[in-house]
Amino acid sequence: MPTTPQNSLSKPNASALAAEAAQEAERMRRASALVTVTNHLDPADVPRLLEAAGKAIGQLAKPETVIRISEKNPDAIWLFARRGRARPEGFMSALLLNEAGRSALFDGDLNLLDPQDEYLVSQHERPAAIYVWASFTPGVLAAGINRVMDRFDSPHYADADVISTSFTVRGHRAMVRRGFEHGVWHEGRFLDGFYMIPRRRKTLAERLPRYATYDPVLRPTGIRVVNGFDDVMRVAAIRSAVYIGEQFCPFDEEFDGNDLAATHLLAFIENEPVGCMRIRFFADFAKMERLAVRKEFRRSRTAFDLVRASVALCKEKGYRRIYGHAREDYLPFWQSFGFKLKENGAPFSFSDHVFVEMLDDIEPSSTALSLKDDPYRLIRPEGSWHKPGPLERSVARQHDHPAAHA
């Protein structure tokens, strides 16, 4: 018998990711108690901190520049020290940018070694963007970053996009783990040298749908909706490796006859297919199933990204309820996304496990599909409602088609 029911949302690999995330959060919580954080900068500490950071990071701004940035807005420079130490041992710095500064950053006009004052906001002004300028947090001091990010989640900063850069694979993974999206759209250009946590309404409206972030050239790590037989084969390979290979699930139980009546999401990491999710749609609810991530990629955020992408797809299709099954011991993973136990739903069992029914009440997106839409939008490929489809492009050739002159 399979170790996990095949109509269940909760799979062991998803649970392992959730457990790892919980352990990491607990570790950071404990470490945070050992670190003091302040934005009160003593100019005398700046040269020493920059010298230590420069050995690990490379060229940094001059001390007088850092002091000037701090005087402009104390929230730009945060100092970390292990509890009981008198002097700061690390720091995190951010450029709090106005609208012009945000554009200058993306256009390459912002001097990152000596930022221009006209692009920076003072403490009483709300920024358009928070650019993570530089950080030096050896050892346990990294726990202080979460405390600073809590500050930047306050109402004063909540609508500002958080932006960063990274030039290493290790940095890329760190950005993704912290919830940054790879790549930024700016004035019709996709800039893959930046990472962003989009928070302001304009940016949220411009961002790619969570279920349509993959592009083999521009965004080799992302998610797309399955639209062709090649991707169906990729989904089958992932699920075969996970459920048949690892969990010894019988073939007929894994491929249960519902795959051709469902929408599938496929996740990639550096163009390698690594995870998938199946969604079936009913009259007034959608059902999420078959979350699978290959074993060697389970330390990534793929499982979390697939769930969020699936919810976003359901919202775009106008659904208000998502239904699913979960093993009782995996319920916390799904509760973190808003799922709740179905009212009056009694536990039930199959395949040697006990399961519960779950529901997530959602709101359709502001651009949800409806009969009020342009007819072309409703004939676009599944999951590509945000861009023109092949039938729209076909209009351009209608006048040249022989039948048009018959």
Q: Encode pLDDT of 192-214 as tens digits.
A: 889 998 888 666 556 789 999 99
Task: Give percent of the chain above pLDDT 90.
Answer: 54
Domains and CATH numbers, the chain: 12-16+223-369 (3.40.630.30), 33-207 (3.40.630.30)
Would you say 144 and 32 are in contact if contact means Cβ atoms under 8 Å apart? yes
pLDDT of amino acid 14: 47
pLDDT band at 35 (very low <50, low <70, confident <90, very high): confident
pLDDT at 95 over 50: yes
Encoded tokens for 111: 């001097």
* Burial track 15-31 (b if 16+ CB lie within 10 A, e otherwise): bbbbeebeeeeeeeeeb
Question: Looking at this protein, which amino acid is placed at residue 213?
Answer: T
pLDDT of amino acid 10: 45
The single-letter DSSP state of residue 219 is B
Q: Encode pLDDT of 215-265 as tens digits.
A: 887 788 999 999 999 999 999 999 999 999 998 889 998 999 999 999 999
Q: Encode pLDDT of 75-88 as tens digits.
A: 999 999 988 888 99
Encoded tokens for 128: 């358009």
d(CA 91, CA 77): 7
pLDDT band at 274 (very low <50, low <70, confident <90, very high): very high
Q: Encode pLDDT of 310-334 as tens digits.
A: 999 999 999 999 999 987 887 888 8
pLDDT of amino acid 155: 87
Between these two residues, 73 and 219, which has the higher pLDDT value? 73
Its pTM stands at 0.55
